[in-house]
C-alpha cells in the first residue's frame, strides 16, 4: 500500500520512524491546557491519520450518494468505496468471503444483533448463555436482555479474583469444562479486556466450546487493535469490532459471522436494502451481507475502514512495525518498573504475560477523578470512572479507577511524562 512506499527504512532510526508515524496523525500534535497532548485514552477511541481524514473529506465531496440503489456513476463510486472497505475488512481478518462481513454501527450493535437474533432462533426457556467475568457492559447487557426475552439464564465464567483465588484478573478457563453444560447455547467471550489488557486464550476456549457443539462470539473491540486477527484460524463463530478504535470513523462497526449461522439467523432490523421483494403480505430478504444492513448504512464512515486498516497494517508491518513493537516493549517494561511495582498503586490484572498496554489502577487513598482532573491540566488525557466494566472493577474492590491505554503511536517519552505528571498530581493530593 502507499504507506509502505514512503522513504527508505534502512537509513532511519527508531526515533525517525516514530516521528514520521506521529506526523501522520494530526491530533497527536495538539496542545491541551497549554501543554502538548499526551493521549492515553486509546482503549476508548484512537486518533485518526490524515489518510483517513482526507478520505472522509473526499468521500463527502466526491462520492456522496446512497449505496446499492441507483444506476448513476456517483452512486457506483459510493457503492464501490463501501464494498472495497468490506473487502479490506475481509482480508484484514481473513474472513472467507464478503458475505461474512456485515457493517454495523459498532461493536455494541454487532453484539446486540447476535444476541437478539441468535437467542430468538436458538435459545429457549431454561437454556444458558455463558459470558465472561472480564466482559465490557456491551458483552453483558445485550445477553441479559435476550435471556430475559427467551426465559434463559446468563451465567458467568469467573476470574480468579471473583473466585477469591488470586489477583491476576485472568478468566478461570479451567472452570470452563464444567460450565459448558448441555444447557449452554452460546458462549460470548472477550479477546482482550478493556480493564486489564489481558489476552484471553481465545483459541483454547473456542475449541473446548466447539467440542460440545457450542458456538462462540468474540468481542474484539480491543483485540483488533493489539493483535493480528485471523477469524478462520481462531475458528470463532462471530467476531465484533468497532472502526473508531482502529483509526476509522465513529459510528461504524463490523460483525463477522460464519455463513451457515448468519443464514440461519432471522433478520434483525427491517427496512430498505435488506429485502429482495416486498409485498404487504410477505417479504423475502436479501442475501448476506445485506440481509443485516437495513436502512442507509454509514457508507462514508464504513468506507473509511479501507484507509484505516491500511494504516493499521502499516503500523504492524515491516520496519515500522518492528520499530513500534520495540517501542511498545520499552513502554511496557517502563510501566512495569514504575507504576506496576509501586506498593501504593494497585494495577488491576497482572502486568506479566500476554497483555496489551492497558493499565487500570488506583493509588491508595487518592480519588481517581481528582488524579484525572490534574493530569488533564498537565496535558495528559486518561480515563477515570468505571470504564463500562463495573462487575470486573467491583470484583477488584474498586468503585472507580484510572486507566492509561496506549496505542502503537504512543512513545516511551509519553509514558515517562505520564508517570511524572502522575507523581506530581499524587503529591498535590496526598
Contact with other proteins (CB under 8 A) among 98, 385, 391, 416: 385
Cα Rg, the chain, nearest whole Å? 22
- Decide whether 19 or 399 has the Cβ nearer to other proteins: 399
Contact with other proteins (CB under 8 A) among 6, 33, 84, 207: 33
The CB density around residue 380, as the number of other CB atoms within 10 Å, is 28
Contact with other proteins (CB under 8 A) among 192, 234, 378, 402: 378
- Binding of residue 429 to other proteins (CB under 8 A): yes
Give the 3-state secondary structure of residue 361: strand
- Binding of residue 397 to other proteins (CB under 8 A): no
- Decide whether 325 or 377 has the Cβ nearer to other proteins: 377
Rounded least distance, CB 393 to other proteins, Å? 14
Contact assessment for residue 67 and residue 78, using Cβ atoms and an 8 Å cutoff? yes
Angle between helices 318-337 and 305-316 (to 10 degrees): 70
- Binding of residue 394 to other proteins (CB under 8 A): no
Task: Specify the stretch interacting with other proteins by CB under 8 A; choose among 16-24, 331-339, 376-384, 402-410.
Answer: 376-384
Contact with other proteins (CB under 8 A) among 211, 337, 373, 394: 373
Q: Give every CB contact of residue 15 below 8 A, 6+ residues apart in sequence.
A: none
- Binding of residue 370 to other proteins (CB under 8 A): yes
- Decide whether 39 or 314 has the Cβ nearer to other proteins: 39
First to last CA, the chain: 51
Active-site choice (117, 119, 236, 388): 388
x/- binding map, residues 98-137, to other proteins, per CB under 8 A?
A: ----------------------------------------
| Residue 28: its H or E element | none
* Residue matched to cell numbers 486518533: 47
Tell me how far apart the alpha carbons of residues 90 and 83 are, in angstroms, rounded to a whole number: 10
- Decide whether 80 or 399 has the Cβ nearer to other proteins: 399
- Decide whether 115 or 382 has the Cβ nearer to other proteins: 382
Comparing CA positions, the residue from 127, 39, 30 lying closest to residue 415 is 39
| 340 part of the active site | no
Rounded least distance, CB 222 to other proteins, Å? 23
- Decide whether 208 or 374 has the Cβ nearer to other proteins: 374
Contact with other proteins (CB under 8 A) among 296, 377, 394, 423: 377
Q: How many residues bind other proteins (CB under 8 A)?
A: 16
Rounded least distance, CB 405 to other proteins, Å? 18
Task: Specify the stretch interacting with other proteins by CB under 8 A; choose among 70-78, 207-215, 314-322, 364-372.
Answer: 364-372
Tell me how far apart the alpha carbons of residues 166 and 34 are, in angstroms, rounded to a whole number: 43
Which residue pairs, CB below 8 angstroms and at least 24 apart, start in 98-101? 98/289, 99/259, 99/262, 99/287, 99/288, 99/289, 100/231, 100/256, 100/257, 100/258, 100/259, 100/262, 100/288, 100/289, 101/254, 101/255, 101/256, 101/289
Provide the grid cell at 422.
502522575
- Decide whether 24 or 381 has the Cβ nearer to other proteins: 381
- Binding of residue 275 to other proteins (CB under 8 A): no
Provide the grid cell at 98.
464478503
Contact assessment for residue 47 and residue 28, using Cβ atoms and an 8 Å cutoff? yes
Tell me how far apart the alpha carbons of residues 139 and 112 are, in angstroms, rounded to a whole number: 8
Rounded least distance, CB 36 to other proteins, Å? 16
Task: Specify the stretch interacting with other proteins by CB under 8 A; choose among 187-195, 217-225, 242-250, 363-371.
Answer: 363-371
Task: Specify the stretch interacting with other proteins by CB under 8 A; choose among 72-80, 122-130, 181-189, 361-369.
Answer: 361-369
Rounded least distance, CB 370 to other proteins, Å? 5
Rounded least distance, CB 134 to other proteins, Å? 24
Tell me how far apart the alpha carbons of residues 402 and 417 are, in angstroms, rounded to a whole number: 16
- Binding of residue 369 to other proteins (CB under 8 A): yes
- Binding of residue 32 to other proteins (CB under 8 A): no
Tell me how far apart the alpha carbons of residues 343 and 311 are, in angstroms, rounded to a whole number: 39
- Binding of residue 37 to other proteins (CB under 8 A): no
261: burial class by Cβ within 10 Å (0-12, 13-18, 19+)?
A: middle
Inter-CA distances, 46 with 40, 89, 175, 250, Å: 9, 18, 35, 10
- Binding of residue 53 to other proteins (CB under 8 A): no
Catalytic residues: 388
- The binding site for other proteins (CB under 8 A) comprises 33-34, 366-367, 369-370, 372-374, 376-378, 385, 400, 428-429
Amino acid at each position: 500500500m502507499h504507506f509502505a512506499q514512503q522513504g527508505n527504512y534502512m537509513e532511519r532510526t527508531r526515533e525517525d520512524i516514530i516521528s514520521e508515524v506521529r506526523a501522520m496523525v494530526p491530533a497527536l500534535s495538539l496542545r491541551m491546557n497549554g501543554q502538548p497532548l499526551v493521549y492515553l485514552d486509546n482503549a476508548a477511541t484512537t486518533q485518526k491519520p490524515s489518510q483517513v481524514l482526507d478520505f472522509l473529506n473526499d468521500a463527502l465531496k466526491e462520492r456522496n450518494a446512497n449505496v446499492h440503489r441507483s444506476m448513476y456513476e456517483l452512486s457506483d463510486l459510493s457503492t464501490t468505496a463501501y464494498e472495497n472497505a468490506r473487502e479490506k475488512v475481509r482480508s484484514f481478518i481473513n474472513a472467507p468471503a464478503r458475505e461474512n462481513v456485515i457493517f454495523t454501527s459498532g461493536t455494541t450493535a454487532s453484539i446486540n444483533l447476535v444476541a437478539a437474533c441468535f437467542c430468538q432462533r436458538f435459545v429457549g426457556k431454561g437454556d444458558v448463555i455463558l459470558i465472561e467475568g472480564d466482559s465490557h457492559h456491551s458483552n453483558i447487557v445485550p445477553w441479559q436482555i435476550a435471556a430475559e426475552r427467551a426465559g434463559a439464564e446468563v451465567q458467568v465464567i469467573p476470574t480468579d479474583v471473583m473466585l477469591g483465588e488470586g489477583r491476576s484478573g485472568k478468566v478461570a478457563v479451567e472452570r470452563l469444562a464444567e460450565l459448558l453444560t448441555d444447557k449452554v447455547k452460546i458462549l460470548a467471550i472477550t479477546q482482550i479486556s478493556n480493564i486489564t489488557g489481558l489476552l484471553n486464550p481465545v483459541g483454547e476456549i473456542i475449541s473446548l466450546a466447539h467440542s460440545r457443539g457450542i458456538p462462540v462470539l468474540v468481542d474484539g473491540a480491543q483485540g483488533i487493535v493489539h493483535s493480528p486477527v485471523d477469524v478462520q484460524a481462531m475458528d470463532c463463530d462471530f467476531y465484533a469490532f468497532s472502526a473508531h478504535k482502529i483509526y476509522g470513523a465513529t459510528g461504524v462497526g463490523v460483525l463477522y459471522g460464519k455463513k451457515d449461522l448468519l443464514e440461519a439467523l432471522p433478520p434483525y432490523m427491517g427496512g430498505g436494502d435488506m429485502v429482495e421483494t416486498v409485498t404487504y403480505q410477505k417479504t423475502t430478504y436479501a442475501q448476506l451481507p445485506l440481509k443485516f444492513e437495513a436502512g442507509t448504512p454509514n457508507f462514508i464512515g464504513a468506507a473509511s475502514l479501507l484507509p484505516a486498516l491500511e494504516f493499521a497494517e502499516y503500523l504492524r508491518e515491516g520496519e515500522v512495525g518492528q520499530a513500534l513493537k520495540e517501542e511498545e516493549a520499552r513502554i511496557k517494561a517502563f510501566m512495569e518498573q514504575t507504576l506496576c511495582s509501586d506498593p501504593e498503586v494497585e494495577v488491576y490484572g497482572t502486568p506479566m504475560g500476554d497483555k496489551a498496554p492497558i493499565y487500570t489502577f488506583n493509588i491508595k487513598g487518592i480519588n481517581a477523578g481528582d488524579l484525572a482532573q490534574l493530569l488533564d491540566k498537565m496535558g495528559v488525557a486518561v480515563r477515570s470512572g468505571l470504564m463500562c466494566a463495573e462487575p470486573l472493577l467491583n470484583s477488584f474492590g474498586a468503585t472507580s479507577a484510572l486507566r492509561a491505554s496506549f496505542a502503537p503511536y504512543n512513545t516511551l517519552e509519553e509514558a515517562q511524562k505520564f508517570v511524572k505528571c502522575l507523581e506530581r498530581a499524587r503529591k498535590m493530593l496526598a
